[in-house]
Chains A and B, each alone.
Chain A
C-alpha cells in the first residue's frame, strides 16, 4: 500500500523558524512522513569575505554569525588567530573574556528558552526572558558600545578596558536573572501543558547524536558529557568551579533543563571571575601585535611606525600554518579553521558552525511524529540562521 502524502512548506517566513529556514514536510494526515530541511536564505559568503579582509577586520563579520551571542563569536575567532600567532593574552583579558562569554551565553540561552515557550503558545515567559536580555544588553552596550554587533575583541586583546561601575551593573543583572529564572520555573517547570508538550518529544538517542555530530545543549541533553569548557579547557576555564550539565531524557524537556541549569552555572562563573579579576593591561604587549596607545602614535616615531605596520594595506599580522580552534558557543562547538599563507589575509577560513550540524539532525528527531511537535523540536535545537548559512 502506498501512502498518499500532503506536501506542506514550513518557512522560509514562518514565525517559528526564528530566521529564514525552509522545511519541506510530507504529511500523512497529521503525522510527519518525511522532512527535507533546506537553508541558504541568509547566505552572505562570510568565508569568502574573510579571504579579502585582514585578521583584525574580520572580527566585525563574526558578530553577524550567531547574532544572539555575538561576543562568543568574537572571542572564539580572536582565540583562533591568537593560537595561529602563538600569542598569550594578558590575565585580565582572559578573565574579561570568560565573563563576557558567560554573560552572552546567558542572553542566548534565556532568549532560546523564552522563544521555545512562545512557539508552544506560552507568551509570558517570552516577555520575562526578553526583559532579562535587555538588562544584559545594557551591560554589553556599556562595555562595547553596541548592543548586538559588539565587535569587542581584537587579535591579542580587547577593544578597550571595562568601564567604571561595571561590577555593580553585572551584579544587579545577576540578581535579576536569578529571580527571573525562578519565575520562569514557576511559569514553565510547574506547567502541565509545558510538560506534556515537551516530554518525549524530539527524541535524539545518544548514538544518533554522535553520528550527526550534534554539539551543545542538544548533545548534553542526550546524556553525552561533552562541553569544551570542561573537556578541552580554553581561556583557563579549568580554574573555575562549575558543573557539566547533562540530562538523559534526550528530548525537548531535557534541552530545556540543560539550558536552564547552564544559566545558573554561568552566573557562578561570572561571580568567580569578578572576584578574582586581576589588574593590568588588556592588550598583549609582546611582539607588537596590538595597536599602540594613541598618545604614543602622535608623539613618537616608534609608535607611529608600530601603528603603520599594523594598519596599512599589505601590513598587519602575517602568520603561517594552519589552526583549528574550537570553543563552546551557546549552541554548541564553534570552530574556526584558518589556513594562513604568510600574507595579511587568511588563505582559507572555515567556520564549523554548531547550528549547521544540529539542524541536520532534524529529520531524525521529527519523522513519524506530529506536526505540532516539529515546532517544539525546532525551537529546542535553537537554530540560528545567520550561523547556519554564514
Chain B
C-alpha cells in the first residue's frame, strides 16, 4: 500500500498541508516516474490536472502543476504537485492516463505551460488565434479597449 509518505521518500518530495488535504511536492523530472508508480499501486484514475500561478509570492517557481489521483479499489485520494517556470516545459503524462489529454490542453490554454511529449498541444477553450493565457495573474482583467489604451497591458514585459 502506497501513501503520501512513501511517495515523498522515494522521489525526494516534501509533504505540505495537513490531514486529508495534504499534498506532496515532487521535482518535475521525477513526476512521471511517481505517477507511474501510483498507477501500478491502484491509484490509476487521474481525476484532474490543473495549475496555480504564484506570481510575486517569492516561490521557487512561477507555476505549480497539480495532479489529483484516485485509487480505484478504495477510492482514496492523493494530490501531487510539481513546479515549473515560465518558458520551461513540463513532462506529459498522457501516455499513462488518457484523461490527461484534455486536462493538459486546458492547463496549456489557461497558463501557457507547455507539456513536452503531448501529441496534440492545442488550445482547448479559447480560440486558436487567441493571444495570452487568461488564468495567468498578469492577464488584464478588462476588455479589449482597456488593453489598447494602456501600452503596458501585460506585466510579462516587466518580469523579463
Q: Which residue in chain B gives the minimum CB-CB distance to A352?
A: B48
The CA of A359 and the CA of B102, in the complex, are separated in Å by 10
Q: Is the C-beta of B152 less than 8 angstroms from some C-beta in chain A?
A: no
A129: min CB distance to chain B, Å: 30
In the assembly, what is the distance between CA of A324 and CA of B78, in Å?
10
Classify chain B: how many residues form its interface, as a range.
35 or more
B29 proximal to A (CB < 8 A) = no
* A280 contacts partner chain B, Cβ-Cβ < 8 Å: no
Q: Which residues of A contact B46 (CB under 8 A)?
A: 213
Chain B nearest CB, measured from A237 CB (Å): 14
Contact with A along B103-116 (1 / 0, CB 8 A): 10010001000000
Beta-carbon contact of B75 and A47 below 8 Å: no
Q: How far is the CB of B45 from chain A (nearest CB, A)?
A: 6
Residues of A108-128 contacting chain B, CB below 8 A: none
How many A residues touch the partner, as a band?
A: 20 to 34
- A335's contact among B45, B48, B139, by CB below 8 Å, is which? B48
Contacts of A47 in B (CB 8 A): 110, 135
A40 (CB) vs chain B CBs: closest residue: B125
Take A43-B125, A226-B75, A352-B47 as given contacts and tell me if A48 and B134 are in contact as well, using a CB distance cutoff of 8 Å. yes
Indicate if the CB atoms of A352 and B98 lie closer than 8 Å.
Answer: no
Q: Report A333 CB to chain B, min CB distance, Å.
A: 7
Residues of B within 8 A of A232 (CB): 75
B126 close to chain A: CB less than 8 A:
yes
Contacts of B62 in A (CB 8 A): none
For the complex, give the distance between the alpha carbons of A389 and B134 in Å: 14
Tell me, in angstroms, the Cα distance from A39 to B101 when the chains sit together: 14
Q: Is the CB of B44 within 8 A of A210?
A: yes
Shortest beta-carbon distance, B90 to chain A, in Å? Answer: 17
Q: Which residues of the other chain, A, contact B135 by a CB distance below 8 angstroms?
A: 47-48
B127 touches A (CB below 8 Å): yes
Contact residues of B between 44 and 60, Cβ < 8 Å to A: 44-48, 50, 52-53
* B-chain residues with CB within 8 Å of residue A211 when the two chains form the complex: 44, 97-99
Q: Given A39-B124, A357-B99, A359-B102, 7 other A-B contacts at CB below 8 A?
A: A39-B125, A40-B126, A211-B98, A211-B99, A324-B68, A357-B103, A360-B99
Chain B residues engaging chain A, CB cutoff 8 angstroms? 17-18, 21, 23, 44-48, 50, 52-53, 66, 68, 72, 75, 77, 79, 97-99, 101-103, 106, 110, 123-127, 134-135, 139, 141
